Structure formats: C-alpha cells, structure tokens
Amino acid sequence: MAVFAISDLHLALSVDKPMDIFGNRWAGYMQRIKDMWDMKISEDDYVIIPGDISWATYLEQAFEDFTFIEGLKGKKIISKGNHDYWWTTISKLNKFLKDNNFLSISFMQNNSFKVEDCILCGTRGWKLPGDEDFDSEDKKIYLRELQRLELSLKSSPKEPGNRLIAAMHYPPFNSKGEPSQFVELMQSYNVDICIYGHLHGEGFKNAVTGIINNIDFRLVSADYLFFEPVRLA
C-alpha cells in the first residue's frame, strides 16, 4: 500500500472544455491520466486528488467523469477545487457515490482519513492576504477555509510515528511567496507534507516547494507532474 497525489484532473467527458489553451502538455490528457495511473497505481494504493476534478456544473453532469475515476485503480480521496461547481453538501455527495456504486471514492471536507501510518487531511484554501486582488469578501472565505483545515486536522490527531499529510487546492503561499496562516496552522499541528495544486503553465514559477520549517511542500497539479501521480508515502 502506498499514498499518491495528483490534482487538477479537469475531466470533461460530458462537457466541451478544451484544455490545450493551457499549453501543449494538455493534448490528449485524459488518456494520459489513465495510462500513467495504470503504470503507477495498484488496487491497494490511495490517491489524494485535491480539487478541480471535473468541469461539470452540476453533480449529475459529472457522472461520466466519476465513472472514469471509479474505473481507475486504487482508492481515491477527493477534496474541493475552485472549479468544482458540482460540489454540493457532503450528504448529497455521499448519496451520489452510494446511488451510483462508486465504491472506491471518498470525499474530504472537515474530516480526515487514517491510512496505515498516514493521516490524510485538508481543505480547498482560497486567495491569500498579500495577493493583488484580495478583498474583504475573500477574507471571509479565507478565514472559513482556515477553520475547515483545523477541523480536518483535529478530526484525527497525529500520534507518534504517524505521517500527517495536508492537501489543499490553492497554494498556502501568496503570489509573493509569503506564507499564510495555513502554513502557521500546519506547523502548529506538525504536518509533515503539504500538497497543493491550482497552478498551471506560467503559474508554476510562483510555486513554493521544498522543505520549509519542517514541512515538505509539493505542487501536484496534473500538468506539472506530466499527469503522473506522485508518491507521498
């Protein structure tokens, strides 16, 4: 059993949403996702997918994309991204999984998952103080997302020998590379690895990666990884 991650699948099996506008890496990307997944992932593995799963607007419209994900090997833990407009209440999301027999998929919001010696937690995140267009409405969402991350961290306390992995969609550093309160919160809970997505193409230059204050920060956007899930544990 291993834990992998890849974000920003941007599946579009039921909508017309070409991704090549974000660069040549996206040519034939859905087949590449499947091919790389088949190479890397076994049925016993877990894959965290932190956001921007499907271009669908409504949950029912996302059925084909979730069928695609269900058909991939391993167990998948999905959290919300800024383009996941289909995301609704957790009760409706879980009913959707049950009604369609999507047995290998779980949703992460205000909760966490214990996988052998790893604890998986996280939240979407949001724009950050210091970003050029950060306003009072963004601040409300930012503070709410901080609360969501803490709820997730609290839901499965870290024990000696466990590895704590925090998954976000938005980066926890602003566009100037400055750490946010998300970083402070993760430090206070002794997070070992923080993964995030959201950045594409030219945005890669704004990624903050590597070990900072004992946390290993990793960008896991699908195109950044050339659609190959990266192993975390």
pTM of the entire predicted model:
0.96
Assign residue 60 the CATH number of its domain. Answer: 3.60.21.10
CB within 8 A of 189, min separation 6: which ones? 153, 158, 164
Length of the chain equals 233
- In the chain (233 residues long), the average pLDDT of successive 10-residue segments reads 97 88 88 97 98 97 98 98 98 98 98 96 98 96 98 93 97 97 98 97 94 97 97 97
Residue range(s) defining the domain that contains residue 63: 3-231
Number of domains in the chain: 1
| pLDDT at 215 (0 to 100) | 98
Instruction: For residue 48, give the amino acid letter.
Output: I
| pLDDT at 3 (0 to 100) | 98
| pLDDT at 165 (0 to 100) | 98
